[in-house]
């Protein structure tokens, strides 16, 4: 924590070379209010803001240093960091437009508190027209369990809000600030907040969908399975139910199939455990999206998870996108604009049964291009993901 020392009683110190004499200093006017020196309120407020920003910067720097010490900084990490920098620079035209929307749009409610931990915040992306309750997507962002942040879902939130869908991007503690168990707990609390409070923001509590991308897909799948297991065991102290989730969407999910050593946090392994009872039967319909050219998290992760779910009777659909990489489906394709097969499928599932919404979707203008094609191709080639 950063705090200022109390120096109310300290006397001013003048150096020998000072051009201000002691006499002239005593003659300098002093503003007094009711016999006391006036307090510079604006200055103090600004100082508090600076102090808060400094504290946050210190926290992030300390976590980064801890992470680098844990991983070790070698040639591979340096080259990947450089590739990440070039990748971000190539997509910067789109990132700047998205960042402007994030910070200045009146349709976003940023950093709504859902729990008591430092990262227990969520952002809400609201449609312009809230004349009737809208469907809701609770979204858990990716970030390799290390750099996940709620703002990463801004582009998805903006584009779904344009289709009259509310998006809630859930933030959570990352490693090394928290363990995977902490991440699962945070995400579950965020989902609970959405299920119990979204009506206040114009959302329909009977049409809530859960979605996760990359590490966020893994975390949200763990949350969903944990909740189903608790309900199958008859636990009464639950604040939300899997029955409130209409469909689960997993995009490029990792550790879905898992290994025996990671059984507690490997949904594909855990659903095979006989001790969880009928938990799998309580799960909502599950749709998994994955690119076949994803080398960060190969598509067999989703294939194996889908196969295990189907074998146990869960309603599951696996949709593979030929030649798509880990970032194509979530970043490059949305930044490209125009028609997007995954986005269209997502909207179609959410609006299923709503003839008016489907009619509007059919007439919706194509999404705007945010990055020139040549930069997108270069970014795809250099991407470290």
- The values of phi and psi at residue 318, to 5°, are -110, 125
Which letter does DSSP use for residue 167 in this model? E
Poorest-confidence range of 51-55, 78-82, 138-142?
51-55
Q: State the Cα–Cα distance between residues 210 and 286, nearest whole angstrom.
A: 10
Number of H helices, E strands in the chain: 14, 10
Is 50 exceeded by the pLDDT of residue 39?
no
Nearest to 269 by CA among 309, 230, 324, 303: 309
Is 80 exceeded by the pLDDT of residue 59?
no
Section 317-336 average pLDDT: 94
pLDDT at 65: 60
pLDDT at 187: 96
Q: State the Cα–Cα distance between residues 355 and 340, nearest whole angstrom.
A: 21
pLDDT at 144: 85
Q: Tokens for 161, please give them.
A: 């809000």
Is 80 exceeded by the pLDDT of residue 56?
no
Q: State the Cα–Cα distance between residues 113 and 120, nearest whole angstrom.
A: 6
Residue 228's pLDDT band, with cuts at 50, 70 and 90, is: very high
**CB contact burial 48-62 (16+ within 10 A = b; e otherwise):** eeeeeeeeeeeeeee
Is 60 exceeded by the pLDDT of residue 129?
yes
Q: Among all chains, which residue has been given the structure tokens 């020998």?
A: 16
Nearest to 272 by CA among 312, 304, 224: 312
Mention every residue, 6+ apart, whose C-beta is less than 8 A from residue 109. Answer: 123, 124, 126, 201
Q: State the Cα–Cα distance between residues 266 and 304, nearest whole angstrom.
A: 12
Q: Tokens for 320, please give them.
A: 């593979």
For residue range 145-204, list pLDDT tens digits in order.
Answer: 888 889 999 999 999 999 999 999 999 999 888 888 899 999 999 999 999 999 999 999
Section 239-256 average pLDDT: 91
> Which residues are bridge partners to 32 per DSSP?
37
Section 49-73 average pLDDT: 59
Q: State the Cα–Cα distance between residues 55 and 106, nearest whole angstrom.
A: 28
Strand segments (E) across the chain: 32-33, 36-37, 108-113, 121-125, 134-140, 166-170, 203-213, 245-251, 286-291, 316-321
Query: Looking at 171, 186, 188, 214, which residue is catalytic?
Result: 214
- Domain covering 97-382, topology: Rossmann fold (3.40.50)
pLDDT at 50: 63
pLDDT at 18: 37
In the three-class reduction of DSSP (H, G, I as helix; E, B as strand; rest coil), residue 9 is classed as: coil
Query: Looking at 294, 301, 333, 351, which residue is catalytic?
Result: 294
Active site residue 326: yes
pLDDT at 286: 97
In the chain, what are the domain boundaries? Answer: 97-382
Cα 379 to Cα 123, 149, 159: the distances in Å are: 28, 21, 22
Is 80 exceeded by the pLDDT of residue 76?
no
Q: Tokens for 277, please give them.
A: 């009872």
The answer for 72, left when phi > 0, alpha when psi is -120 to 50, beta otherwise, is: left
Query: Looking at 188, 326, 333, 351, which residue is catalytic?
Result: 326
pLDDT at 13: 35
Poorest-confidence range of 79-93, 105-119, 127-141, 143-157?
79-93
Nearest to 147 by CA among 86, 64, 80, 244: 64
pLDDT at 11: 37
């Amino acid at each position: 924590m950063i705090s200022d020392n109390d120096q109310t009683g300290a006397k001013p110190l003048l150096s020998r070379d000072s051009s201000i004499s002691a006499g002239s200093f005593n003659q300098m006017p002093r503003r007094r209010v009711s016999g006391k020196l006036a307090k510079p309120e604006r200055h103090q407020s600004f100082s508090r803001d600076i102090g808060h920003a400094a504290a946050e910067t210190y926290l992030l720097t300390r976590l980064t240093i801890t992470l680098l010490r844990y991983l070790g900084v070698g040639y591979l990490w340096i080259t990947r960091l450089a590739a990440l920098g070039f990748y971000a620079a190539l997509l910067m035209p789109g990132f700047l437009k998205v960042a402007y929307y994030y910070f200045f749009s009146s349709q976003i409610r940023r950093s709504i508190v859902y729990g008591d931990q430092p990262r227990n915040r969520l952002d809400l992306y609201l449609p312009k027209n809230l004349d009737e309750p809208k469907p809701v997507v609770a979204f858990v962002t990716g970030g390799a369990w290390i750099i996940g942040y709620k703002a990463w879902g801004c582009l998805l939130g903006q584009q779904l809000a344009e289709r009259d869908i509310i998006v809630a991007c859930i933030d959570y503690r990352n490693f090394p600030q928290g363990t995977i168990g902490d991440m699962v707990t945070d995400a579950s609390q965020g989902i609970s907040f959405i299920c119990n409070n979204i009506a206040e923001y114009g959302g329909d509590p009977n049409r809530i969908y859960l979605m996760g991308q990359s590490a966020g897909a893994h975390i949200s799948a763990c949350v969903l399975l944990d909740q189903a297991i608790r309900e199958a065991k008859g636990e009464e102290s639950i604040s939300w139910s899997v029955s409130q989730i209409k469909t689960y969407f997993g995009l490029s999910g990792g550790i879905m199939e898992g290994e025996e050593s990671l059984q507690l946090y490997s949904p594909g392994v855990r659903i095979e455990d006989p001790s969880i009872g009928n938990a799998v039967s309580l799960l909502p319909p599950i749709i998994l999206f994955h690119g076949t050219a994803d080398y960060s998290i190969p598509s067999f992760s989703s294939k194996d998870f889908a196969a295990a779910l189907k074998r146990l009777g869960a309603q599951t659909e696996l949709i593979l996108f030929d030649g798509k990489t880990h970032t194509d489906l979530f970043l490059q394709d949305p930044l490209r604009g125009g028609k997007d097969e995954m986005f269209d499928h997502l909207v179609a599932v959410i609006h299923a049964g709503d003839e008016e919404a489907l009619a509007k979707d059919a007439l919706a203008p194509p999404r705007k291009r945010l990055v020139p094609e040549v930069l997108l191709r270069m970014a795809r080639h250099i991407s470290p993901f």
